[in-house]
Amino acid sequence: MSMSVAHFGTASRRILMAQPTSNTKLYRVFVFVLLMVMWVVLSGFFDAFHLSLGLISCAIVVWLSSDLLFEKRHHHLRVRIKQGFGLFAYLIWMIGQIVLSNICVLKLALGDLDKLEPQILRYKCSLNTDFQRFLLANSITLTPGTVTIKIIGDTFYVHAISDETAQGLDGKMENRIKKVFADDYETSTESPA
């Protein structure tokens, strides 16, 4: 069993090695399209002069810094777009959580202050890219009663405002994020960061 897994590992690594050139081009085009849409929305002019200005500046930005937006490029673009939709669904769920957490803060602010039970907790996560950790930290902040203070390595230090909200700090949110970025975890053992 371990033999076959190892074999599969080398095979998929060979595929990964072969792909980057074509993928990099695709990613460049994708970043260019994103920037161009942004330009059109923000400028609001559709004449040839302004559009060509946009084309030139987007091209320069893509040429200089298109690799800032996506860290790992061995995924096909289809995977990225799927992740984008997953992220969008996650954000919708997040907005629901924000409403709940604001009602929680409103209740605490107007209610009895003796109900506050501040505490600082430790939370270990197993997410493997910076963006996912950033997303988890932001999600912890936006869910009811918890705020991330510090991230040291893979340990999150979380300030919880009461015992009840501290219970909400289980692995569920992390699993949601992992589900959105599921494709990053299939190959994660072979390509660290």
92 is a contact residue toward another protein (CB under 8 A): no
Q: Which is nearer to another protein, 8 or 93 (CB)?
A: 93
Shortest separation between residue 23's beta carbon and another protein, angstroms: 26
48 is a contact residue toward another protein (CB under 8 A): no
d(CA 133, CA 154): 8
Shortest separation between residue 29's beta carbon and another protein, angstroms: 22
Shortest separation between residue 117's beta carbon and another protein, angstroms: 6
Q: Which is nearer to another protein, 153 or 192 (CB)?
A: 153
d(CA 31, CA 161): 41
Shortest separation between residue 84's beta carbon and another protein, angstroms: 13
105 is a contact residue toward another protein (CB under 8 A): yes
Cα-Cα-Cα-Cα torsion 130, 136, 141, 146, nearest 10 degrees, comes to: -130
- Helix, strand, or coil here: 157? strand
Q: Which is nearer to another protein, 30 or 157 (CB)?
A: 157
Shortest separation between residue 72's beta carbon and another protein, angstroms: 20
d(CA 138, CA 122): 16
Per DSSP, helices labelled H in the chain are 2-18, 20-43, 48-65, 77-110, 130-142, 163-167, 172-180, 182-186
Q: Give φ, ψ of 68 to 5 degrees.
A: -75, -25
# residues contacting another protein (CB under 8 A): 38
Judged by CB under 8 A, the chain residues 132 through 171 that form the site for another protein are 134, 137-138, 141-142, 145, 147-150, 152, 155, 157, 159, 161
d(CA 113, CA 103): 16
Q: Which is nearer to another protein, 42 or 68 (CB)?
A: 42
Q: Which two structure tokens, joined as six digits, stand for 63?
A: 């040429």
d(CA 14, CA 98): 44
Could you list the residues that contact another protein (CB under 8 A)? 41-42, 44, 91, 94-95, 98-99, 101-102, 105-106, 108-110, 113, 116-122, 134, 137-138, 141-142, 145, 147-150, 152, 155, 157, 159, 161
